[in-house]
Amino acid sequence: MKSILMISLHGYVGANAELGKPDTGGQVVYVLELAERFSRLGKKVDLVTRQFEDQPEYDHVDENYSVWRIPFGGKKFIRKEDMHDHLKKFVTNCLAAIKKERKRYDVVYSHYWDAGWAGQKIAEELGISHVHTPHSLGWWKQHTMGSDMDEKEMEEKYRFKERIRKEYFVYQMCNYVIATTLPQVDLLTQQYDVLPRNCGMIPPGIDENRFFPVPTKENDKIRAKYDIHPTDILALGRMAHNKGYDLLIKSLPTVFELCPEARLVAAIGGDSSKQDDKGVEGLKKIAGELGVLDKITWKSYVADEDLANVYRAANIFAMPSRYEPFGMVAIEAMACGTPSVVTVHGGLYDLIDFGNQALFADPHRPTEFGAMMAMPLLYPKLRNELSVEGARFARRNFGWTGIAKRMIEVFNSSINQRTMESNIF
């Protein structure tokens, strides 16, 4: 296996990704890191995405790896929920470009349902294997959000019926599905009828060269630079309903009752996004009603080069998601030596040793989640334990190079299986 066609269609994908823009978060980091590690391991990689706005056709990263943009759906941004209407055109344009450039690939590796549907069609046309990573599952997202939104409104916004139908097709037809968590594997077999032999779990990774702990004196200087106090709780990520930031704010009265000196640093939302600004205003309204607005520092967008230091500066990292396929931000924070309190509604919850590597709680129960956030503030010995063991856990289990090697083993296995099946006929 020498050459990989990776496909990730939505958001702003590029060699220097514009993280924080709409639909541009953990998945984009995931595909870029893997593409780079595949290249380091000697594989040829074309990471294909959508060309829109004024983006160039290519970002040539190194001699083995390029980001290749294929135009479809016009020049404007298209949110991932609306990709349904444009995927056929992408397949046509991508196949034409592959043939024009005389490119050859050994495997298609697609990400999320939109690229999965297109990747299956492309793999069939090229006569090669297709491996897919869902990142999140429509069935799970729909059922988790069910009580929070009107059914008709939810269908109009997220188009779950159409998405789940396309997901089912992809998971049944592709050679192998790589889930990022064990609960995803269970859902693939139980809700999408995937054969157990055709799916498995490989977790996401972290950049070990960026995310690591630093000495206390150095961290004091970092805190001064970013105006983060030694007793601050950090929440960081895109402004999205599933992230549960409203639930986090509702847990703050419990935190402040136990630790009056604490603050929340809310680094929430993208860079100059009107939709994100509207969401943050809603969070501020909740905070005002609860009387905690003056205990929150709002940082909005954090530049990628500042991310590791912002993690390090906080006393605690909080991930209060309503649902979270994995939770890379928490792993990154842990790798930086910052104790994390994570949601029980996600894949990371099943992997950590409570009280040793991290803490977890249900964000739907504000008192419970607030109490867990207060624990490391109240007990420095516990915080130190979580800091050391959390960083060890993150680095040992989630380095990107090791993750990429495991992926390549799956690719080789799927190629060999396809070759055996072809020889039968």
What gap in Å lies between CA 168 and CA 113, rounded to an integer? Answer: 9
Within-domain flag for 210: no
Indicate whether 172 belongs to any domain: yes
Does 393 lie in the same domain as 405? no
- Cβ neighbours around 6 below 10 Å, total: 28
Kindly state whether residues 158 and 239 are assigned to the same domain. no
CATH number of the domain to which 18 belongs: 3.40.50.2000
Q: What are phi and psi of 189, to 5 degrees?
A: -80, -35
168 near 192, Cβ under 8 Å? yes
Question: Is the same domain home to 386 and 245?
Answer: yes
Where the chain has pLDDT below 50, the residues are none
Whether residue 365 lies inside any domain: the answer is: yes
Question: Looking at residue 97, what is its pLDDT?
Answer: 98
Considering the domain boundaries, does residue 340 fall inside one?
yes
CA-CA distance, 116 to 112, in Å (whole number)?
6
Predicted pLDDT of residue 373:
98
In which domain, by residue range, is 231 found?
216-397
Q: Say yes or no: 244 and 128 in one domain.
A: no
Per the rule left: phi > 0, alpha: psi between -120 and 50, beta: everything else, 74 is: left
pLDDT value of position 275: 77
Q: Is residue 409 assigned to a domain?
A: yes
Residue with tokens 């205003």: 281
Contact 212, 335 (CB under 8 A): yes
Cα 159 to Cα 142: distance, rounded to the nearest angstrom: 10
Q: Examine the domain organization and report whether 28 and 167 are in the same domain.
A: yes
Q: How many residues does the chain have?
A: 425
Q: In 9-71, which residue ranges form alpha helices assigned H by DSSP?
A: 26-40
CA geometry: angle at 222 spanning 216 and 228, to 5°? 100
Say how many domains are in the chain.
2
Q: What's the pLDDT at 187?
A: 95
Alpha helices (runs of H) in 300-379, residue ranges in sequence order: 307-313, 328-335, 366-378
**Gyration radius (Cα) of the chain, Å:** 22
The candidate with the shortest Cα–Cα distance to 310, out of 240, 226, 204, 195, is 226
Same structural domain for residues 171 and 81?
yes
Residue 211: inside a domain: no
The answer to whether residues 282 and 352 belong to one domain is yes
Are 63 and 33 found together in one domain? Answer: yes
**E-only strand ranges, 295-363:** 296-298, 316-319, 340-343, 359-361
Same domain, 118 and 191: yes
Helix (H, G, I), strand (E, B) or coil at 47: strand
Please count the CA atoms within 13 angstroms of the CA of 177 that sit on its side-chain side: 33
Question: Do 196 and 268 have their domain in common?
Answer: no
Q: Are residues 191 and 258 in the same domain?
A: no
What are the DSSP E strand ranges found in 209-280?
A: 232-237, 263-268
The answer to whether residues 136 and 44 belong to one domain is yes
Q: What is the pLDDT of residue 146?
A: 61
Q: Supply the DSSP symbol for 159.
A: -
User: Is 64 a member of any domain?
Assistant: yes
